[in-house]
Structure 1
């Protein structure tokens, strides 16, 4: 057989074409999976499969001892904040969240801080800067719960607001502002009021 220069040039071109096609298909499959995973729905947790289905059954150790069960907040509007002691924007927003908790709990609001951190670091932090709001020690496994609630990047701080029916009303990646909290205080009581 006789290989011509054009035949030899066509082989790398075909390989590049196949590699590009496979890469494009993989990217499309990944985008499709992400769209399916983060697809909009009714926002209610507990009806699906996976971590969302067991959201309200989650329990966490409390820094002062005892257990923090998310089920105790079911039926209330809930601000769930993921934070860590090593995260400067998290630490900066904690006084705002604590103030919101104290001001809004009589209006049916609950605020929970889930620390994605070492328990010893959280205990030492809270000894210096106590909070009124309940704190759960989620550890680094709390990142998976945050991802199940829409935090695809795993960044902190991350906050999710639920209505009384357990529907997600708002999500916020990054540091909260007083305006965020003021707007949340005005949110409808339940999903049917949206």
Structure 2
């Protein structure tokens, strides 16, 4: 494939994903805190993931059970994702001594993720996933499989918040504090 065709396709896919994320974000902020147990267990396929980090080492999300787990699906080519990651990094650092773990799951190439993590000094693990991994978010309301998409789990592994689109620092910190306060 010619380089200009490949580059045009990449830009087109990125623009479509960003547009889908923006449009979905306008109507898709939801919380599962008032839902029955089945809904709170809907994130089990995400917790079952084992993915490579940007250095190739395998990381199982299950290793962080017992902590509030913030799982953010993102990509370096997704402008809304890039806007929210500095907020996630700040909140992650504020909770560094607490039972909280942030994990970024990037739909991207390892080299892009490594470069991004080094430039922004992202303080939490960034894992690499194929595009098909976004299918796990469809039952959670991400029918467009758009980015960014965040799922927050309580210390027992129950899905407590899902958010399609950007999640701001205040909302993120508030939800984490509420979950840490639970017995």
Asked if 1:174 corresponds to 2:169, the answer is no
Of 135, 140, 144 in structure 2, the residue corresponding to residue 153 of structure 1 is: 144
- TM (normalized to structure 1)? 0.68
Q: Note the alpha carbon deviations across 1:136-164, whole angstroms, 9 max, x for none.
A: 10121221122244322211111111101
Equivalent-residue separation in structure 2 for 1:87 and 1:179 (angstroms)? 22
The match for 1:3 is none
Aligned residues: 149
Q: CA RMSD in A?
A: 2.3
Q: Note the alpha carbon deviations across 1:83-111, whole angstroms, 9 max, x for none.
A: 01011110111111111111113121111
Equivalent-residue separation in structure 2 for 1:152 and 1:143 (angstroms)? 9
Equivalent-residue separation in structure 2 for 1:64 and 1:152 (angstroms)? 30
SS in 2 for 1:186: helix
Of 30, 41, 47 in structure 1, the residue corresponding to residue 36 of structure 2 is: 41
Q: Note the alpha carbon deviations across 1:26-84, whole angstroms, 9 max, x for none.
A: xxxxxxxxxxxxxx531343xx7xxx554433111010231111011111111110101
SS in 1 for 2:70: strand
SS in 2 for 1:156: coil
Q: Comparing both chains, which one has the higher relative contact order based on Cα–Cα distances under 8 Å and sequence gaps of 6 or more? A: 2
Asked if 1:62 corresponds to 2:84, the answer is no
- TM (normalized to structure 2)? 0.71
Contact map agreement 2:66 2:99 (CA 8 A) in 1: no
Q: Which has the larger radius of gyration?
A: 1
After TM superposition, the structure 1 stretch with the greater mean CA deviation from structure 2, 153-162 or 140-149, is 140-149
Equivalent-residue separation in structure 2 for 1:112 and 1:63 (angstroms)? 12
